[in-house]
Amino acid sequence: LQFTEEKLGQAEKTELDAHLENLLSKAECTKLWTEKIMKQTEVLLQPNPSKERFRILLSAFKLIDRPKLDRKAPSRMNNPELLGQYMIDAGNEFGPGTAYGNALIKCGETQKRIGAADRELIQTSAINFLTPLRNFIEGDYKTIT
């Protein structure tokens, strides 16, 4: 912390209390770790773009269904949900009365629940974890310093 006159050499440097300097140091450390945690959480929550490009490439060759370009998160299935749907469809095709078909349907339903839990984790983490961290960095930290 320096005033303009101090920067220009027209006044002596303002000496800060040791306690205040300690608090400023702790605030800066808190800011750095909060930013690191926030960035790493965002990396964890973001889907892998290379997997999505691979999916689009496969859809171009008609190996899988073409994904819709609708960017609404709730209407689009994530990878575990899509796998679960494929398993259910395959189980119904083999016949729910067969052991293999029944197993595929049960596994598919479980996989879809895993996908729904994954979607809920991402949404809840973004709302309840990242938003308060971002508010701290953009608001409270500026008030502290």
Give the homologous superfamily in CATH for domain 18-63+72-144: Arfaptin homology (AH) domain/BAR domain (1.20.1270.60)
pTM check: above 0.85: no
* Neighbouring residues of 85: CB distance < 8 A, sequence distance ≥ 6: 77, 108, 112
pLDDT band at 4 (very low <50, low <70, confident <90, very high): low
Tokens matching residue 125: 């983490």
68-122 residue pLDDT tens:
433 344 568 888 888 899 989 998 988 899 999 999 999 999 999 998 998 899 8
For residues 77 and 60, give the distance between their C-alpha atoms in angstroms, rounded to a whole number.
19
CB 112 within 8 A of CB 91: no
